[in-house]
Amino acid sequence: MGGNDLGADRRARIDAARLYLVCDCLPGDRGLGDFLPAAISGGVDVVQLRDKQLDDGFLVEAASVAADVCQQYGALFILNDRPDIAATVRADGVHVGQEDM
């Protein structure tokens, strides 16, 4: 699948998503590796990691875990505010607000 096909597939999956989860790196005081499989198995289609308190090293680590779990369980992974880290961890997309960047 080429780059344009992959982007179109991701847009189609976002359009079809029914449950979009926004969480920090410790949702409910649970690690992402434990929490996300259950959330995705419960119907989450898209996971957005939003944790404005983490330094870059911890954010890369958390985003890597989330990206791996999402890929393994078939959900899309979106990282908040950080296109540079999103590219590094192979996120499916990045959420950038009007006031960000």
Q: What is the pLDDT of residues 8-39, one digit of tens each?
A: 888 888 888 889 999 999 999 999 999 999 99
Q: Which residues contact 86 (CB under 8 A, 6 or more apart)?
A: 63, 78, 79, 93, 94
Phi and psi for 15 in degrees, rounded to 5? -60, -35
Contact of 58 with 32, CB cutoff 8 Å: no
Neighbours of 70 (CB within 10 A): 25
Rounded to two decimals, the pTM is 0.85
Helix axes 32-41, 56-73, angle to 10 degrees: 30
